[in-house]
Amino acid sequence: MRARSWRCRASTTLRSLRSSSSSCGGHSGHGRRPRSRIPPQPPAPTAGRARGSAAASIPRRNRPASPWERRGRHAPGCASPRRAPPAGSGSRMLGARRAALAGLARAGDGAPGPGLGRAHSARLLLPPLGRARPDPPGWSEAVAAAVSALQAGGLVAVPTDTVYGVACLAQDSGAVRSIYSLKGRNGRKPLAICLGDVDQLYRYCQVNVPDQLLRDLLPGPVTLVLKRSEELNKDLNPFTSLVGVRIPNHPFMRELARACPGPLALTSANISSQASTLTVSEFKDLWPQLSLVIDGGPIGDVQSPECRLGSTVVDLSVSGKFTIIRPGWGFVTGAEGGMRTHTQPGLYRESC
């Protein structure tokens, strides 16, 4: 089984803590700017002009505004005018997609999938990783393409050791807001951070557990909840002093996290309250809001409900105690009992 060795280490380590304890834990009122008083030019004779349409012969910029235009509305029977997008809207995502496409152009075997452009994200098929070829052609280029998209402020769909996730740079406040918008939720439902190695954890968290405990649990299908440090972006989970940490046991995710300048914000690739996804086609509705989709193939058995549980979330923020906030894939398939589960709704319930 894919996580037998991790389950043995994790189960033994967590049970050793049980003896200590298992409780957890508007607009201003100024007048309208006066219009320039340019006298209307006499209408040029036009064949077939409709009766009573003399005003239509005056250029729009010179003729007086109609009552409908003054109210910001369109006249009855006319097509609604196209509204300009908010300032800066779309330019950030477009820049991230261009960065991803630039990385795809450098990829050897990777090729973008259908629907490229403003309305869809680029899709990159991840080359298979085998023992004979630990670094297959196109693997490093796929990592570089994802890093380019992330550094441009984009959102990237990624495979993990549990379910598919969506990642952005955790220190980029604009990208964090984008990922909250993608999920359809506010900042009161926290995001986890993803790192490449245990050593990086000490920079962004206040660790009060033995280092060996961290290394027994990570990398693996578990999210550890610890107290956050001042190094972490304050716009990430601003309503809690805790943060969940993931180090997925997936080679692509670990390489991606190592290649990024800071931690990744990571959440499951689905709308809040919907089922987790095991293939990229299952979250196709999210593609228009993503800069890049890394297709690592199916994750686990798509017919098994247990494979959609995500990671097990463990609260280690209180010294000498632990709490299972959410029993996930690692907990259900590896733990036989002896652990007390204390569910806290809304806290890392949708971590991948």
Q: 276's torsion region: left (phi>0), alpha (psi -120 to 50) or beta?
A: beta
Mean pLDDT for the stretch of residues 321-349: 58
Q: What is the pLDDT of residue 259?
A: 97
**Pair of tokens at residue 87:** 């300032």
Q: What is the pLDDT of residue 60?
A: 45
Mean pLDDT for the stretch of residues 103-118: 41
Which of 41-55, 161-175, 263-277 is the least confident region?
41-55
**How would residue 218 be classed by pLDDT, with cut points 50, 70 and 90?**
very high
Predicted confidence (pLDDT) at residue 80 exceeds the cutoff of 60:
no
Q: What is the pLDDT of residue 182?
A: 93
Predicted confidence (pLDDT) at residue 56 exceeds the cutoff of 80:
no
The residues facing 295 across adjacent strands are: 125
End-to-end CA distance of the chain: 20
Those residues with Cβ within 8 angstroms of residue 342's Cβ, 6 or more apart along the chain or in another chain: 22, 23, 24, 25, 323, 324, 325
**How would residue 189 be classed by pLDDT, with cut points 50, 70 and 90?**
confident
Q: Write the CA distances from 60 to 47, 55, 260, 317, integer angstroms.
A: 20, 9, 52, 65
**How would residue 244 be classed by pLDDT, with cut points 50, 70 and 90?**
very high
Residues 310 and 350: their CA atoms lie apart, in Å, by 8
Tell me which range, 1-5, 107-111, 116-120, is most confidently predicted by mean pLDDT.
Answer: 1-5
Q: What is the pLDDT of residues 250-309, one digit of tens each?
A: 999 999 999 999 999 999 999 888 899 999 999 999 999 999 999 999 998 889 888 898
The amino acid occupying position 274 is Q
pTM: 0.68
**How would residue 184 be classed by pLDDT, with cut points 50, 70 and 90?**
confident
* Mean pLDDT of all residues belonging to the chain: 74
**How would residue 160 be classed by pLDDT, with cut points 50, 70 and 90?**
very high
